[in-house]
Amino acid sequence: MPWRWCWTGDSLRAVISRVDEYLHTVPLSGAEAEEVGPFTLFRSTTVWPYYARPRAGVTVTAADVQAVRARCAELDLPLSFEWVVDACPTLGPAATEAGLTAHEYPLLVLDPADLKTVATDARVEILRADADLVRLSRAVQSIGFTAGGTAVGAGGPAERDAAVPEVPAATVEGVVDRMRRGVTVTGAVFTEDGMVAAGAHQQVGATSEIVGVATLPAMRRRGLAAALTAALAQHAFDNGVELLLLSAESDAVAAVYERVGFRRIGQAGAAE
């Protein structure tokens, strides 16, 4: 039977637990796990770094955070943490006490029955595992995330094209490999100016997360991110996903996803 939420009490806690379980599993497609106190440290086996996450049901102290800091220093790894705040409310204060900068972001989920169609004149596609398309999508994301938020800005097709040669070959190879293995599904939006938005979802079993959705700043406020998110969500549901999640940069960005049918269930935490 498809998953259906009630959004309160035990049902909401079950959803949060399922989200937390997924987020503890998804890094294993590109990392090896090492236990450090109450944390799992994901040691990357690919070209991008990962992070440490608290295991389910643990209480975290500043000393635990410092132990991960020491281990990352031994391994020459960047120090960062990600977690679901409602699943581990002690980590934020512990990270701050240990001298890290902690942030919280809206955490949202989507029920298949709540997915809304988003009309657009642009062309929205699920991309094939092609190096040129991946390089272009990474350039779009680079320009989009350099100027975060939802405001219209100066970054457009010219800046995208200038960024294409700067995308590392190893990153392109890594993403293409993940797409071929079905670990990452990448989508993009095209207008007469070419690719103007890109993003992905990453499925593990019946759960997936939408990640990396970015629009060129000059192309914002046209519904392109919402249309892309809806297309990625539909692809996920068509391929057996029952629970779809994402975390948003801000309340303004979360509002874009709420247009597609996502609902907030809590906060995602990050510290570095």
Domain extents for the chain?
9-106, 112-265
Write down the pLDDT at residue 148: 86
DSSP bridge pairs for 202: 209
- Distance in angstroms (rounded) separating the CA atoms of residues 53 and 34: 11
- Distance in angstroms (rounded) separating the CA atoms of residues 9 and 88: 17
Write down the pLDDT at residue 234: 98
Which stretches of 20-77 are assigned E, i.e. beta strand? 31-36, 39-44, 52-54
Q: CATH homologous superfamily of domain 112-265?
A: Gcn5-related N-acetyltransferase (GNAT) (3.40.630.30)
pTM above 0.85, yes or no: yes
Residue with tokens 């006490």: 97
Output the average pLDDT for the chain.
95
Give the rounded distance of the alpha carbon of 197 from its chain centre: 15
Architecture of domain 9-106: 3-Layer(aba) Sandwich (3.40)
**Same fold yes or no, 9-106 and 112-265:** yes
Task: Write the pLDDT tens digit of every residue in 187-199.
Answer: 999 999 999 999 9
Task: Write the pLDDT tens digit of every residue in 199-251.
Answer: 999 999 999 999 999 999 999 999 999 999 999 999 999 999 999 999 999 99
Write down the pLDDT at residue 9: 61
Write down the pLDDT at residue 3: 44
Residue 71's contacts (CB-CB under 8 Å, 6 or more residues apart) are: 34, 36, 41
> For the chain, which ranges sit under pLDDT 70?
1-9
Write down the pLDDT at residue 10: 72
Write down the pLDDT at residue 8: 54
Write down the pLDDT at residue 1: 33
